[in-house]
Amino acid sequence: MADLRTSFAGIESPNPFWLASGPPTNTYGQVARAFDEGWGGAVWKTIGEPIINVFSRYGSVDLGQNRMMGFTCQIVEWVKEVATIPVIVKLTPNVTDITYIARAAVKGGADALSLINTINSIVGVDLTTFEPQPSVAGKSSHGGYCGPAVKPIALHLVSAVAGDASVKIPISGIGGIASWRDAAEFIVLGAGTLQVCTAVMHYGFRIVEDLIDGLSNWMDERGHRTLADIRGRALPRVAKWEDLDLNYHLLAHIDQDKCIKCELCWTACEDGAHQAIRRLPRNNGGPVVEIIEEACVGCNLCAAVCPVQECITMRQVKNDYAPVSWKNYAAGKGNLAPRSEQLHTATWTPSAKR
């Protein structure tokens, strides 16, 4: 079985799953129960007396049937002057460049970093009373947005900090972790430990059992013995857009046997993309949509909106041209495959009426 033990900034944990600073770590009793359930660590929300709580603190955003889709250097130096334990600095995403404050924390002597903190937000407004939600005596303020909806942002920012050559201290990943797959994605992008809050508020402490078992099983299946085997493995594949290969071509392909004839792909492509799907008559008993290959740029929108899994897939189109990035092409150091030129000069013609 995979070894999930981890040493993070000198802190030894039986597994990388920690409770994040939040309501699940409000009290000693909660943290004690969490450890009994198998959590590897916990970050206290508040320590000291008196602790004053306020009411009406939680608002949430739902998505379909999914409930609760979403809920800097001198200071570090001051803390390090008196700290006798590792200092982990939590970084906010509410900045233009998170690597700037990450470097500042490192310069101040931080032992580790954790990210991301919550995103400033207002979850909604009551259009009868005009009160932002959740209402506190008719008023409200911005709050911290978290949960599955912030995971893509968190993954991006974790990879940005982990890939920064100036940041050579451990990173604890936070933001929408609710499954072993989420955890694995954070780890391969450079996270050493993983902090969970919203998922615990939703499902309770016992979710850690699924997190541990799922991650262990996946590692066993892939032949990974320790977390060090996978940590940061995806970072070399994270590049800037201008360094991507313009001669890597994809075309959409529709599996007509799986198509349910909803035409969502046609609508999305026609109004929101490249008019690369042709609508066919419904009375012919055959397909109702097909890809216009000479117009398709492989943007993936059709596959994203299709309600049937694997009905629309993206397939690579081979060519004899060497890879060339936009940076090199703009500098006159490479050539685009002729098909790319055709795609960029394609003319629009009206499709069938809705």
Ramachandran angles phi, psi of 197, nearest 5°? -130, -65
- Count of CB atoms within 10 A of residue 349's CB? 8
73, 259, 269, 311: the catalytic one is: 73
CA dist 36 and 292 (Å) reads 58
What DSSP designation does 3 have? Answer: B
- The single residue listed with the structure tokens 């060339």 is 324
Are residues 176 and 66 in contact, defined by beta-carbon separation less than 8 angstroms? no
Amino acid identity, residue 114?
S
Q: Is 232 left (phi over 0), alpha (psi -120 to 50) or beta?
A: left
CA dist 274 and 291 (Å) reads 11
73 as an active site residue: the answer is yes
SS3 173: strand
What is the dihedral sign for C-alpha 317, 318, 323, 324? negative
CA dist 333 and 147 (Å) reads 44
Cis upstream peptide for 350 (omega within 30°): no
- Count of CB atoms within 10 A of residue 63's CB? 11
Q: Is 130 left (phi over 0), alpha (psi -120 to 50) or beta?
A: left
Q: Active-site residues: which are they?
A: 73
